[in-house]
């Protein structure tokens, strides 16, 4: 289906979280934007751990999407699951909510921006975890909480309440809890449980030599000192063995839990959830067994390749944030080094994709009085964004540490804020970010300049994002 040069071209945005909302706001003035999401609500994922130990906090992290997108932002919202994208006719098969199982809508588009995110349970078939709701129709029947429909905000709330009750019962039993993975998610979850349920005997472990993986030593030492002061047992350089593994007993002895823990939480890795994409654009390798969308340095979806593959669908489809492969090239020769799967780089990549989408559209159809003559000649290459090196790790509600200037090199970055000021800083980030996603003016004013910064302080981008400096 060929796009019409008359009127606004249609942009389909898949995913309504951080990158999806940002993309819609950037493109709505020039394009007819439709957002599709399999759940009816936004959830501030970096803060959701707190909700499981303090359920009332969920209200500060979430809101229903339809009123914000359709009434305030002025874009179209479809509550449904994308089942397939078709390259030949530029359409998407969407299973809307509240329809029969065989009822599928076909939505056409001129451009598509995939902001579908990922899941966080690498050992589960569908990547099931507490940190992100189970929303795919095929995954729900095989999940651990199949009786709850987390596509609804009330379903998500009930799951949070059930997990809260489960941890409360563990606390009453003085039960042992094992956290597998001492990255920032594992450390946060461990310290949140310890603060709100102090009678749980907490143990955290990792196969790396210390907590917080590749972050600077100062941050790792600060978090380790906090956990030690809270009587949280730490074990490093230990590989996890699942139940049924021949070396399970040996593993349990190493972490001083010979009889096992009453409850285990897996807090390691990520898993792709790009089930709607054809295999020709999905990686055969990568975290969680592969399945990540290949892209080029302009954020366009490409065929799988060890370098930059040929663009898919004529370069009219972009993949940003946690859904994409996260890097281009190989460890021996990175075109774009691996980027952490956190919210800031996703929005930064969405910004880059929006710029390139506008350039691509202007080159194709023209714009303004002079038409294509005044269109930029080339799209702007993406880069390793400076915000990808910022990590705020909570240590309960009254302590935290904040790292900046980290990059793809192990141990890089600096811990610039800690203790109560860092905890307050993280609360401010959370509050203003949710406000921005609600399309409120205060949040937009604060965060607009973060992604439209005139100068890149660190990272691997040009000194100015417009790339007009000859030094770039």
Q: C-alpha 99: how far from its chain's center?
A: 28
**pLDDT classification of 1: cutoffs 50, 70, 90:** very low
pLDDT score of 455? 64
- 444 sits in which H/E element: helix 441-451
Mean pLDDT of 167-174: 97
Domain 10-121+271-379, CATH homologous superfamily name and number: FAD/NAD(P)-binding domain (3.50.50.60)
The label of the residue with tokens 């790792």 reads 220
Per-residue pLDDT reduced to its tens digit, 115-147? 999 999 888 889 999 999 999 989 999 999 999
What pTM does this model have?
0.92
Report DSSP letters for 407-440, one per residue. Answer: -SSTT-SEEEEEHHHHHHHHHHHHHHHHHHHTT-
DSSP 125-175: TT--BTTB----TTTGGGSTTTTS-TTSHHHHHHHHHHHHHHHHHHHHTT-
Topology given in CATH for the domain delimited by 149-269: FAD/NAD(P)-binding domain (3.50.50)
Can you say whether residue 284 is alpha, beta or left, with left for phi > 0 and alpha for psi between -120 and 50 degrees?
A: alpha
pLDDT of 370 reads 53
User: What's the whole-number mean pLDDT along residues 306-325?
Assistant: 93
pLDDT tens digits along 212-258 = 988 899 999 999 999 999 999 999 999 999 888 899 999 999 999 99
Residue ranges per domain, the chain?
10-121+271-379, 149-269
For the cut 50, the answer to whether the pLDDT of residue 3 exceeds it is no
Binning pLDDT at 50, 70 and 90, where does residue 5 land?
very low
């Amino acid at each position: 289906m060929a796009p019409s040069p008359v009127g606004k071209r249609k942009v389909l945005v898949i995913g309504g979280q951080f990158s999806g909302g940002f993309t819609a706001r950037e493109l709505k003035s020039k394009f007819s934007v439709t957002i599709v999401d399999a759940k009816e609500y936004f959830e501030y994922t970096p803060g959701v751990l707190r909700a499981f130990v303090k359920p009332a906090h969920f209200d500060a992290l979430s809101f229903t999407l339809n009123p914000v997108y359709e009434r305030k932002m002025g874009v179209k919202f479809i509550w449904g699951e994308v089942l397939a994208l078709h390259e030949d006719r530029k359409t998407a098969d969407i299973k809307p909510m509240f329809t029969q199982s065989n009822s599928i809508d076909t939505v056409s588009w001129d451009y598509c921006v995939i902001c579908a995110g990922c899941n966080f349970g690498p050992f589960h078939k569908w990547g099931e975890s507490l940190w992100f709701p189970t929303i795919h129709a095929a995954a729900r029947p095989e999940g651990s909480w199949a009786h709850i429909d987390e596509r609804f905000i009330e379903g998500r709330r009930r799951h949070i309440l059930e997990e809260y009750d489960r941890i409360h019962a563990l606390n009453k039993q003085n039960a042992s809890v094992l956290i597998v993975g001492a990255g920032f998610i594992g450390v946060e979850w461990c310290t949140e449980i310890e603060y709100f349920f102090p009678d749980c005997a907490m143990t955290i472990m990792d196969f790396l030599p210390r907590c917080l993986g590749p972050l600077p030593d100062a941050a790792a030492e600060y978090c380790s000192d906090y956990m030690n002061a809270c009587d949280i047992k730490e074990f490093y350089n230990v590989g996890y063995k699942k139940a049924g593994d021949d070396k399970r007993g040996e593993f349990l002895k190493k972490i001083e839990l010979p009889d096992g823990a009453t409850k285990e939480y897996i807090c390691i890795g990520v898993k792709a959830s790009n089930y709607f994409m054809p295999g020709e654009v999905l990686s055969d390798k990568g975290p969680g067994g592969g399945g990540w969308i290949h892209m080029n340095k302009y954020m366009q979806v490409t065929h799988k390749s060890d370098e930059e593959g040929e663009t898919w669908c004529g370069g009219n489809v972009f993949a940003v944030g946690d859904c994409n492969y996260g890097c281009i090239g190989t460890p021996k020769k990175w075109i774009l080094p691996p980027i952490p799967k956190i919210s800031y780089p996703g929005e930064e990549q969405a910004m880059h994709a929006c710029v390139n989408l506008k350039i691509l559209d202007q080159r194709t159809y023209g714009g303004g009085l002079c038409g294509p003559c005044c269109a930029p000649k080339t799209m702007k290459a993406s880069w390793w964004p400076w915000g990808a090196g910022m990590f705020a790790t909570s240590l309960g509600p009254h302590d935290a540490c904040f790292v900046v200037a980290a990059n793809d090199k192990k141990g890089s970055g600096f811990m610039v804020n800690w203790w109560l000021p860092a905890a307050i800083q993280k609360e401010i980030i959370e509050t203003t970010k949710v406000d921005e996603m609600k399309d409120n003016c205060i949040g937009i004013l604060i965060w607009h300049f973060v992604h439209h910064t005139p100068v890149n302080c660190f990272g691997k981008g040009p000194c100015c994002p417009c790339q007009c400096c000859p030094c770039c």
